[in-house]
Structure 1
Amino acid sequence: MKRVLPFRPTLLAVAIASVTSYSYAADTQSADVLETIEVTGQTYRNTATKTQLDPEETPQAITIITNEELEEKGVSSVAEALRYASGVNTELRGGAVNRLDLFNLRGFSNDTILVDGLPLLYNDWNLQPQIDVAAIEQIEIFKGPTSTLYGEMPPGGMVNIITKAPQSSSKTALEVTLGSDNKKEVSLDTTGAINEDVNYRVITKASQSDGQAVTSENERILFAPSVDIKLSEDTLLNLNMYYQNDPSMGVYSALPSKGTVYSNINGQLSSDAYAGDANWETYEREVLLLGAKLDHQINDTWSFLQNTRFTFADAYQENTYSTSLDADERTLNRRAYLTDEESKGINIDNQLSATFDTDSAEHNVLIGVDYLKLESDIKYEDAVAPSIDLFSPNYYQISVSDLDFAASGYTSDFTIDKEQVGLYVQDQIRLDNWVFLAGARYDQYEYSETGTKYGAEATTSIDQSQISGRVGALYEFDNGLSPFVNYAQSFEPVSGSDKDGNAFDTSTADQWETGVKYQSNGFNAGLTAFQIVKSNVKTNDPDGGTYDQIQVGEVRSRGLELELQKSLTAEINLTAALTLQDVEVTKDNSGIQGNTPIWTPEKQLSTWLSYQPTSGSLVGASFGTGIRYVGEMQVDAANSATVPSYTLVDLSVGYDLAQLSADWQGASVKFSVANALDEEYYTCYDTSNCWFGADRSFEISGRYEF
């Protein structure tokens, strides 16, 4: 499947691509240590506004997860990093599945992740790039609809990863990690100045571990170099590459609800249970991202920022899925399938901004044009596989020569073409203590599938346009209190058609949100109330076949979110997040009106307490403990039963070895434990597809900075 991507862009896309300067602007200010790098300098743009407006000044809910927090909690993926944020339910497919960063935001599932403001190109099958936490400086969670700036997006919000940027001061960090499940990992992060106009950064990592499911393994190799080039006093160019090779990424198969969430006449399955076959369990992924970012200050009023990224990725998968559980509640009938996928694409975002005054009002006007192009070739085969006894499993039954793919009728070999062009405008106005924000966007979206899909000609074609907008206002009191209100829209193009051949409509959503932010004397807090109404939601057709779907009328999500960070003393810091939400299918014609969608707990609460002594015998040590509570969720769309709530405890201990001897300057150790009490918990898609949550895991790492 090695083919050159035939770019056939529209005239507008050609005009976009013809702009010769490539974008970004990374902060080149020095930092004392690698993990505390200032990212809000000259060229940083707020995720929520694409301007330099601070999050506390933005009339919309935002959560920032810093690199320091990522390291303190010892997270190993983006999904794990979101555990302590309000409004987010993460790790939707349990602890054994880690090849995708899946999460639910304000009641809506989301598989779209942005990196430095550009979406990772996902083909909606099995080829989704991931960004390793070793390359992440901070994570920004923008709550609610974001289509006005970013185009198609689920209405619950989005996650934007800010990657580590080159710095002018020379720093190198070498880290070695050992952990449970035979985890072995080594990483190197080095940055500095080549000369007064050029800074570099190189991040490398190699890791290997066993997976939670028996027989499974995880492997990764990462190489991410970048360079900042000061072309002039007004122009900064960043060139970056991200290469990741995942030779093995665990399992993806699910378990039935009987033996996990429900009781089974044969007993309960263990949390490392596996329903697949080691002879037919492969997931190999290779991703190459090539980026160029440029920031140019045209004059005292106007500046130009362009961000470009090329994506080249492929993945090969061999896997099984279950078709039924026999009456003995131990014999699981299965099918085997393979996917061979390759994606190539490009993102470009051009931003022209102006800062000026009109009378007493300060304006920050943003005009942007972005373009996205993705082509993905997909092959799929499917065949009957031997059944497995879940309570006396043989993991080596499948023989490739016995799989009859030709008889299945599922053979697929097709190409997905996706293209989107968006034009947006925004004005951010500061008038005394007021901040006003208004924006609008027009999108043209095209999608097609050509070739053979499930044994028949692929016929899906979408050509849709959409206008979306948002308005908001915030008032800053002198005491640090800032109430705000906003209205925002989002949209998602919907592919496919119903069983009668009627093409699906675009799914749209509207949000009203109000809240208050507070910042003063080491106390930061935010309280938000919201309501999102999403129309034209696609669900299974109760009167159709297995793969037939329809669009229900409406889903409503409303709730309260509270986040706070308080320095209790000079040594003790507390963070907490509370989510109360009510998500409901409010209009429907298939019998699920009034039901709650899966993966949407009504209550979530998390808190993290950190302690870093500044005097006494414990100077140099750091301690952290966290508690995560996730409430009950529905097993399936029919709400036939619930998945039990669970409470997890995490721990972290670190020590600066320089406190023992000056010879150990720059050396430190850290020990972290996730799910310290080894609580057993679950997630479910339906009664046939459930997963165990992540087992207790630990890791100890040694770090040397010089």
Structure 2
Amino acid sequence: MYTRSLPVFKISLLALLITQINQVSAQEIDSSTTATLDTIKIEAMSELDPIKSYVDYKEANVTRNGLTKKDIPQTVDTIDVQKYKVYGSNDLSVMLQGTPGVSTSYDMRGDGITIRGFNADTGDIYRDGIREGGQVRRSTSSVERIEILKGPASVLYGRSAGGGVVNMVSKYANFDSKSTIGVYAGSWSNLGTVIDLNHVINDQWAVRLNSEYGEADSFRRGINSRQVMASPSVTYRNDDQTLTWTTQYTYDNLHRIPDRGPYAYNLPKGTSIKQSYAQDGDFVEDTLQVARTDLKYEYAPNWNFHWALSYRVAEQNFDHFYLGALCTSNTTVSNGESDQRYLANGRNNSAYVAPEKRRCNNNVGKVSQIYYWQKAKNTTTSNTFDITGVFNTGDIKHNVMFGADWTYEQREPLLANTNQNNSLIYGFVNPLTGEKSNSRGSGNLKLNTHNYNQATGLGIFLQDLISFNEQFKLMLGGRYDTYESSTSNKLLAKNNLNYKRTVNNESFSPNVGLIYQPNEHHSIYASYSKSFSPFGGSAGVNAVSASQDLALFNAEPQYNIQYEVGVKSDWLNNRLNTQLSVYDIRKNNIRYRPDPTNKPDLWAVAGRHESKGVELSFIGRLIDNVFVRGGYGYTDAKVTADSQTPSNVNKRLALTSKNTGNLFFRYLPSESVYLETGVTYVGSFYNNLNNDYKVKGFSRLDAAVGYSQAPWNVTVAVGNVTNKKYWRSADLPGTPRSVLMRVNYQF
């Protein structure tokens, strides 16, 4: 679809958009019978209001600068969480399904999210502007909305994989929200209670307690989960409301029997999607604790100071069997788990033999599973501030933001997969009968990994929106980061060996955007932005190996650059909002080891990955009582250069759908009743960079009916109405038809 003449294509598209906008703007739109949505203060609306999830936010916290989204020369999506709670969704990845340019696949350890072709799980998920580090499944029980800033965002947040950042905005004590008590029940023993108490003590103080308890089984036999969340907060504001100070603590615990089976292509014909692969005693427990304090102070007209301090602890403990491959004979497994797959995952010993090939004796036709025990703890301390203000130089207006971020992260993983006698622990499952066996109890575990990783980052940034007049604006921004990461091998340290490695890095990240607003309804932009990821690609705190020879380690950052053009518009007298964008992202400085056998510490640049695409999103009111929300994204993400594996050139990037989209309608025949139906579409994607297995795409139909008459709200939702069979990822099928009923009392 795209060629080297892409800049010419962008200029032509921009000219076409301007022509169409000028034509539409000249037309008068009759608004005599419909109120305009921009008169609604969405932040003050009840989360149970039938139209809230179909009204766009004019601003997004993820941009940090308090500007309207029309003044941001990048794509910004906002998703109201309550819309998905109706269907029982709690996982971030499920809520993002079908979002243009966003691909989601199941990952037992995280969310499995890629944005515009690049992984966002490791370091691009935020909560209230604070990075969500660590290996943990993220609950949305205390989240009001999800914001996505697409494309490189290092100028605002520092290190990044470059596809975009996701910011979850928490529910916190305020002076507008009502209180809610609710219960829900649905398919597969899905039961839970929700308590959200927001109380205004007086004009200065407000307190809030947001909590949820839920239990659920699964359509997969023997799989279940238990969620406990509590989030108290307190907010103070002064008499003239120039200062607001919020302090919040969140405790989130998810205990589950993990659903992490083999890849679909390893299963024999006739295997039921209801078959699970968890062994007796398998479990995963995620515990997240966050304490934050957030101060906003308008110390002069149009000048604001913002400071936030956060301390976050994420723990994931598990003991389970997972994946594996089908034993096709007494000594071999199916091609899906060949030695090449293991070598590609970093096991570069030429004598290495996949564990399954040593376990298949007398177990033909069964899945031979991999075993791991793990305890991992991530601690993140963040301290950030920014100052925003407005001033003029002659006739030119400046909306300026200056700030700094400091973070300190620690990660300490402990892993084991063998007994004290170095024997591998194994498990077997017959996928046709469900018969299971394992050797977990055959001896105490031997610790294979015990590392201690830490990283310190400091970033200083400046951004200025320069308004030459009402039509032409220029966004200029830059950020300077320093970053230090070290890894200590605690097992080597016990033997007095050299066990610690440290790498220092720095980077400058710019962004430039030109904005043309021919009238108040339309904003056309073109932008350039850059992101960086330290040490050739790592976005976490375990960037280097404790045995790495740093003299041979090329530590220059991996970086992404993006070119984007687009238009943001209001139609039908501000009732309908749209975004259309075209982008080109290039990831450079990707690392590999040219000679891993003889020179395991030597790294070189392998090549480049590139993602090009088009995204369209829309939200609002079509006619008086019909609302719409949806979008479509086309993502062409592939390898453009690869010195390590030249055959990968032109192959699609892993876990990235070329096509994603969704379309939902909500109809309100009266003020009390509403009906909703919608389709979520996720295109096919490859499970790995080798492109040797494609997960088929799917379209899922959902529907709901609601009744809202103060103080009661009742909804009944049906997910996957047609009971379509599909795979969410290579190792997890999608949920069959399900029903969920929610009852809420608001006061």
Report the TM-score range of the alignment, normalised by the length of the smaller protein.
0.7 to 0.9
Distance in structure 1 (CA, Å) of the matches to 2:285 and 2:565: 45
Does residue 131 of structure 2 align to residue 119 of structure 1?
A: yes
- The residue aligned with 1:579 is 633
Q: Select 1:64's aligned residue among 63, 78, 93.
A: 78
Q: Report the Cα distance in structure 1 between the residues aligned to 2:106 and 2:621, rounded to whole angstroms.
A: 32
RMSD: 2.9
| Distance of aligned partners of 1:538 and 1:670 in 2 relative to their CA distance in 1, 3 Å threshold | farther
**Gapped regions of structure 1 (runs ≥ 5):** 1-27, 659-664
Q: What letter matches 2:127 in structure 1? A: V
Distance 1:218 1:441, change over 3 A: same
- Rounded to whole Å, the distance in 1 between the matches of 2:195 and 2:286 is 22
CA contact (8 A) 1:372 1:420 kept: yes
Match of 1:33 in 2: 46
Residues 1:564 and 2:602 are matched in the alignment: no
Q: What do the CA deviations read for 1:244-290 (whole angstroms, capped 9, x no partner)?
A: 122x1341523133355xxx3xx1422233333122x1112222111
Map of 1:143-542 to 2, 5 A cutoff? 143-169=150-176, 171-231=178-238, 233=240, 234-246=242-254, 248-251=255-258, 253-259=260-266, 264=268, 267-279=269-281, 281-300=282-301, 302-327=303-328, 330-383=365-418, 384-392=424-432, 397-398=437-438, 400-403=440-443, 405-406=445-446, 411-432=448-469, 433-452=471-490, 459-478=500-519, 480-493=521-534, 494=538, 495-496=543-544, 502-503=552-553, 505=555, 506-520=557-571, 521=573, 522-538=575-591
Q: State the distance in 2 between where 1:638 and 1:78 align.
A: 27
* Cα distance change on mapping 1:160 and 1:675 into 2, 3 Å: same
Three-state SS of the structure 1 residue aligned to 2:211 is strand
- Aligned match of 1:552 in 596, 606, 609? 606
Q: Conserved in 2, the CA contact under 8 Å of 1:34 and 1:172?
A: no
- In 2, Cα distance between equivalents of 1:67 and 1:277: 34
Q: Distance in 2 between matches of 1:367 and 1:83?
A: 35
Q: What letter matches 2:272 in structure 1?
A: S
CA contact (8 A) 2:454 2:485 kept: yes
Q: Return closer, same or farther for 1:391/1:300 CA change in 2, 3 Å cut-off.
A: closer
In structure 1, C-alpha distance between the alignment counterparts of 2:592 and 2:280, rounded to whole Å: 33
Give the direction of change, closer, same or farther, for the CA distance of 1:70–1:530 in structure 2 (3 Å limit).
Answer: same
Runs of 5+ consecutive residues of structure 2 not aligned to the other structure: 1-40, 335-364, 419-423
Q: Distance in 2 between matches of 1:120 and 1:196?
A: 33
- For 1:474, what is the secondary structure of its paired residue? strand
CA distance in 2, matches of 1:466, 1:144: 18
Q: Is residue 143 of structure 2 the alignment partner of residue 136 of structure 1?
A: yes
Residue 568 of structure 1 deviates from its aligned partner by 2.4
SS at match of 1:56: helix
- 1:500: Cα distance to partner? 8.3
Distance change in 2, residues 1:344/1:566 (3 Å): closer
The alpha-carbon deviation at position 457 of structure 1 amounts to: 6.7
Deviations 1:329-350 (A, max 9, x none): 6322223211112232211111
* Cα distance, 1:588 vs structure 2: 0.2
Determine whether 1:89 maps to 2:89.
no
Contact 1:170 1:190 in 2 (8 A): no
Could you say what secondary structure the match of 2:425 adopts?
strand
506-515 vs 325-334, which deviates more?
A: 325-334
Which residue of 589, 594, 613 corresponds with 2:650?
A: 594
Retained in 1: the 8 A contact 2:261–2:324? no
Quick one: distance in 1 between partners of 2:376 and 2:693?
Answer: 36
* Alpha-carbon contact 1:31-1:167 (below 8 Å) kept: no
* Structure 1 counterpart SS, 2:725: coil
Alignment pair present for 1:644 and 2:696: yes
Q: 1:638, CA displacement in angstroms?
A: 1.5
Of the candidates 687, 706, 714, which is equivalent to residue 654 of structure 1?
A: 706
Q: Contact 1:610 / 1:625 at 8 angstroms: preserved in 2?
A: yes
Rounded to whole Å, the distance in 1 between the matches of 2:87 and 2:514 is 35
Aligned residues: 640
In the aligned structure 1, how far is the partner of 2:137 from the partner of 2:732? 22
CA offset digits 1:540-596 (Å, max 9, x no partner): 989769x99975310000011111235221111122211112111001021311111
Is the deviation greater in 535-544 or in 643-652? 535-544
Contact 2:84 2:95 survives alignment (8 Å)? yes
User: Is 1:276–1:395's contact at 8 Å kept on the other side of the alignment?
Assistant: no
State the SS of the aligned residue for 1:401.
Answer: coil
1:599 and 1:683 in contact (8 A); partners too: no
Cα distance change, pair 372–131 in 1 and its aligned pair in 2 (3 A):
farther
Partner of 1:671: 716
The residue matched to 1:385 in structure 2 has which SS?
coil
Once residues 307 and 114 of structure 1 are traced to their aligned partners in structure 2, the CA distance between those partners, rounded to angstroms, is: 13
Query: Equivalent residue of 2:83, what SS?
Result: helix
Q: Which stretch of structure 1 is more off in the superposition, 497-506 or 586-595?
A: 497-506
CA shift in 2, pair 1:367/1:35, >3 Å: farther
Counterpart AA for 2:675 = F
Give the TM-score normalised by structure 1.
0.84
**Contact preservation (8 Å) 1:29, 1:168:** no
Letter in 2 for 1:288: Q
CA distance in 2, matches of 1:77, 1:321: 21
Counterpart for residue 681 of structure 2: 629
SS, match of residue 623 in structure 2: coil
Distance in 2, matches of 1:373 and 1:47, equals 23
- Partner Cα distance (2:679, 2:299) in 1: 49
Q: Residue 737 of structure 2 aligns to which amino acid in structure 1?
A: R
Q: Does 1:702 align with 2:747?
A: no
1:357 shift after superposition: 1.4
2:136/2:286 contact within 8 Å kept: no
- State the Cα distance separating 1:458 from its structure 2 match: 5.1
Q: Is the 8 A contact 1:231 1:237 kept in 2?
A: no
Please name the residue that 1:24 is paired with: none
* Fraction of identical pairs, as percent: 21
- The CA distance in 2 between the partners of 1:47 and 1:169, in whole Å, is 18
Give the stretch that moved more between structures: 64-73 or 376-385: 64-73
2:67 is aligned to 53
* TM-score in terms of structure 2 length: 0.80
2:46/2:177 contact within 8 Å kept:
no
Shift of residue 218, structure 1, vs aligned partner: 0.7
Is contact 2:105-2:655 (8 Å) kept? no
Which residue of structure 1 aligns with residue 356 of structure 2? none
- Read off the aligned partner of 2:414 and give its amino acid letter: K
Q: Is the 8 A contact 1:334 1:385 kept in 2?
A: no
Supply the distance in 2 between the matched residues of 1:170 and 1:635 (Cα, whole angstroms).
Answer: 43
Question: Is 357-366 or 438-447 further displaced after alignment?
Answer: 357-366
2:383 and 2:529 map into 1 onto residues whose CA distance is 24
Maintained 8 Å contact 2:306/2:385 = yes
Partner of 2:156, secondary structure, is: helix
Q: CA deviation at 1:146?
A: 0.4
**Matched position secondary structure for 1:496:** coil
C-alpha displacement of 1:327: 1.5
Which amino acid in 1 is paired with 2:428?
Answer: I
- Would you say the 8 A contact 2:223–2:259 is kept in 1? no
CA distance in 2, matches of 1:215, 1:539: 41
What secondary structure sits across from 1:568 in the alignment? strand
